[in-house]
Amino acid sequence: MPGCALLAFDVGGSFVKAGLVDAVAGQVLGEVLRRPTPADAAPGSVMDLLAAISRELPSEGPVGLAFPAVAKKGVAQTAANIDQRWIGTDAQALLEERIHRPVAFLNDADAAGVAEMTLGAGRNRAGTVMLLTLGTGIGTAIFVDGRLLPNTELGHLEVRGMEAEHRASAKVRADHGLGWQEWADAVNEVLAAYHALLWPDVFIIGGGVTENWKHFGPLLRSRAEIVPARFGNDAGMIGAALAAAALGERVGAS
């Protein structure tokens, strides 16, 4: 949908971000709204919040929804850092009922990866590219020659007896007051485990923590190239908008 500002949501375990996105330029237009994820993070509470935000950010056309879950045909199959009642919930249909518009629903790390591979740090990169979002948990997205393998959820891979995201997420750093070197050491251990299994050519590191790239980026080590995400914490919203734009094109063509 060229030239159209599309509403996009990025739901996380701690915060919900929303904005109007120019999906052609990969640019958030105006203010990004950031609201705490409802305390119970249950479907009804989250949908109430998204519907309220949609009234604050009036727009037309399809809406993108990036979400911390395995997403298949609009349905959340898992619930990472949110309420377990999401499992089996048709999130796409729920939001469409609330706002009366088509919704593109996808995994949050996949959304960030789509943004980076289409317009950001992964653009025109061949080979195997793995994006990590370091936030409340660790999201992962894997691309081979630009094609996405969806819903990888490798933040839950065990690294020395502990889930990767319990060892090296940004939340772990904040909760335990880790210094940059100590935290980077934990991230490097996770990168080594991913590389041993998948042999990516490039790691793209995303999430809000990339605002501090100068503090920890030079401390990261891998046999693969390591680069920061171009869109940082906005990547999920931008990827959701790209998915919404693609949905609009499919609807328009049908």
What is the tens place of the pLDDT at every residue in 22-35?
Answer: 999 999 999 999 99
How far is it, in rounded angstroms, from Cα 243 to Cα 23?
9
CATH of domain 5-110+234-253: 3.30.420.40
What mean pLDDT is predicted for residues 83-108? 97
Across the chain, mean pLDDT equals 94
Task: Look at phi and psi of residue 88 and say left if phi exceeds 0, alpha if psi is from -120 to 50, else beta.
Answer: left
Each residue's pLDDT tens digit, 199-245? 999 999 999 899 999 999 999 999 999 999 999 999 999 999 999 99
124-229 CATH, one of 3.30.70.1560, 3.30.590.20, 3.30.450.20, 3.30.420.40: 3.30.420.40
Taking the C-alpha atoms of residue 234 and residue 166, their distance in angstroms, rounded to an integer, is 23
Q: Where are the domains of the chain?
A: 5-110+234-253, 124-229
Interior/surface letters 120-150, b for 16+ CB within 10 angstroms, e for the rest:
bbbeebeebbbbbbbbbbbbbbbbeeeebeb
3 state SS of 24: coil
Q: What is the largest CA-CA distance in the chain?
A: 53
Model confidence, pTM? 0.94
Say which amino acid occupies 143.
F
pLDDT of residue 195 exceeding 60, the answer is yes
Q: How far apart are CA 61 and CA 99, in angstroms?
A: 11
* Angle at CA of residue 187, ends 86 and 170, nearest 5°: 50
Where does the pLDDT of residue 253 fall: very low under 50, low under 70, confident under 90, or very high at 90 and above? Answer: low
